[in-house]
Homo-oligomer: A and B are copies of this chain.
Amino acid sequence: MATDPTIRPTDVRMKGFARRWTVEQSLEWVDGSIPEPLIEHIQLEEAASRVLAEDICSTIDVPHFARAMMDGFAVLGSDTAGASAYNPLTLRVIGESLPGNPFSKQVTAGHAVRIMTGAPMPLGADAVLPVEQTVIEDNQILVQGEVAPEKHVGFPGEDIQSGTVVLQQFRRLRAQDLGVLSSIGVGKVPVLQKPRVRLVITGNELLPPGSKPAEHNICDANSPMLAALIERDGGTVIHPGIISDNPESILEALQDDADIIIVSGGSSVGQEDHAPRLVAEHGSLDIHGVAMRPSSPSGMGTIDNRLVFLLPGNPVSCLCAYDFFAGRAIRQLAGLPAQWPHRSQVLPLSRKLVSTVGRTDYARVSILDGQVEPISISGASVLSSTTRADGFVIIPEDLEGYPRNAEVTVYLYE
């Protein structure tokens, strides 16, 4: 937790913010406020990209029996000593071993068992003679090459030994990890629960997505955007629909059973901005007003141990504040790295990028011929600027901006 005193309800005023927190303070608040993640057990088939809640230790050897690594014949290696195309030796074929359908008797000197890759080695045999080194004649083979004992045999535990930790706690499961888990007999996987994130979209002017904008109403652009971002960050979205812009409805939504509450709209200090006052009254509004552009009217706090993020309703501000703060919280609660999830590139600026000391800037940029081109429209309501942009550059608060040709990190929108 940041050391700043909590904001009292009466501090939430009409005329601008009493003070502004820095982005750094706000990030500290986020990182210090993440609750302990919860654990659940899910089907292996559902576990791709989920985060392991504990170390997974194999209780078996993989494979758990010796098996052929080639198609050919299971033999005693010593029976092939001296064999070649010019000196073929004869072995009698007494059966076959197929995957899942092994040869049940013993192989003794002078005998061979036809065997397929992956099939269990029969008792007595200690090597696999590849089919390419044989001539097959009725119920016998002419051995045309030597194989040493153990050759082309996969031994128990060759892939995984019983007692080995195969995957560690907090690993985000890869596709092949699911294969490994299956091979050691794990059907249910202990993973961190996905944070349940309640969207609270307010605004009496808003129509639900899919409506035609009409008269003085506009369509809610933020809920589909936020929902996609929350999914990206490992969260589950709870969004029952647009909330009436009155304190009762908003309070009810703020007290929903979720891990994280994201309010979009009414996050500032206006008379109609109910959410900050409600958080201050019913919980703790720890940050309100951040020295950044866009998104300065952002807030953060808690109600009953739920994290609450107040995001501005302007779509670009909403995107920026989500990515800076709310997404970071969701990722951490999901067990994912806190930092920006975007791929990034370091490239030179085609022209200077201006900011102001004391404020962190989120500048949308295009990449053109390997150079970073700032997008001139800075309006927080111009969401289409983020679809024209290839990504964004962060200008820290201690800089007035970057000069032309400065190498900057571009976080790529994806």
Contact = CB atoms under 8 A, between A and B. Distances in A.
A1 interface: no
A62 B188 CA distance: 49
A182 B209 contact: yes
Interface string A396-413: 000000000000000001
A242 to B, nearest CB: 11
A206 interface: yes
Interface stretch (A78-86, A222-230, A368-376): A222-230
Contact of A14 (B15, B120, B131): B131
A337 interface: no
Contact of A383 (B179, B204, B206): B179
Nearest to A185: B212
B218 A63 contact: yes
A221 interface: yes
- Max count, chain B CB within 10 A of own CB: residue among A210, A227, A314, A387: A387
A210 to B, nearest CB: 3
A28 interface: no
A98 B217 CA distance: 11
A358 interface: no
B387 A204 contact: no
A178 B272 CA distance: 27
A89 B181 CA distance: 75
A23 to B, nearest CB: 21
Given A132-B16, A158-B379, A209-B187, A176 B386 contact: yes
Contacts of A213: 60, 62, 64, 183-185
A225 B177 CA distance: 7
A98 B272 contact: yes
A241 to B, nearest CB: 12
A139 interface: no
Interface stretch (A32-40, A42-50, A190-198, A278-286): A42-50
B100 A231 contact: no
B203 A100 contact: yes
B179 A382 contact: no
Contact of A176 (B187, B220, B225, B231): B225
A101 interface: yes
Contacts of A217: 100
A313 interface: yes
Given A158-B382, A228-B175, A131 B187 contact: no
Interface stretch (A2-10, A159-167, A254-262, A301-309): A159-167
A71 B270 contact: yes
Contacts of A71: 268, 270
Contacts of A324: none
A222 to B, nearest CB: 6
A57 to B, nearest CB: 13
Contacts of A180: 221, 383-384, 387
Interface of A: 14-16, 43-45, 47-49, 60, 62-65, 69, 71, 98-102, 116-120, 131-132, 154, 158-160, 166-167, 172, 174-188, 203-206, 209-213, 216-229, 231-232, 268, 270, 272, 313-315, 319, 343, 379, 381-384, 386-387, 413-414
23 contacts: A15-B131, A44-B210, A44-B224, A63-B218, A64-B213, A64-B218, A69-B379, A99-B216, A100-B203, A116-B272, A117-B313, A159-B384, A160-B384, A167-B387, A174-B387, A175-B224, A175-B226, A176-B225, A176-B387, A179-B225, A182-B210, A184-B219, A185-B213
